[in-house]
Amino acid sequence: MKVSVIVPVFNTEKVLPRCLDSLINQSISDFEIIVVNDGTQDKSQDIINEYHRNHPDIVKFIIKDNGGLPDARNRGIAYASGEYIGFVDSDDYVEHDMFETLYSYAKRKELDIVRGTYKDIYIN
């Protein structure tokens, strides 16, 4: 497994599909998405279930009591099998080649850690 992407989720049902779509459609091969339900109280788990059902080889999920963002990320790390681990917040979305670009750069330069840039985008 090249990359494990961890997505902590807490009450983001309105934006979660966009996030998961951007991850499902990554250009990299051999990756997994670990969605961590951090005690969400909305319909986010229904969305997670749908993505898991439609992409069982890629999307895995964990359900846990609310413990906050660091706790959710750490829980995801415990289940990750990738050579590299990436984090995406459930209210964010990424370019289709983000993880392939980061992975290729890390391998080419023999790096343990890489990071990309980001843009703030506001709905209004």
Residue that has been written with the tokens 């599909």 in this structure: 17
Tell me the pTM.
Answer: 0.96
Quick one: pLDDT at residue 36?
A: 99
Q: Are strands 31-38 and 3-9 parallel, antiparallel or unpaired?
A: parallel
Write out the chain's pLDDT in tens, 124 residues: 999 999 999 999 999 999 999 999 999 999 999 999 999 999 999 999 999 999 999 999 999 999 999 999 999 999 999 999 999 999 999 999 999 999 999 999 999 999 989 888 877 7
Packed helices 44-54 and 16-24: angle between N→C axes, nearest 10 degrees: 20
Burial group, residue 28, by CB count within 10 angstroms (0-12, 13-18, 19+): middle
Quick one: pLDDT at residue 121?
A: 83
Quick one: pLDDT at residue 122?
A: 79
Q: Let me know: does 36 contact 64? Beta carbons within 8 Å.
A: yes
Quick one: pLDDT at residue 95?
A: 96
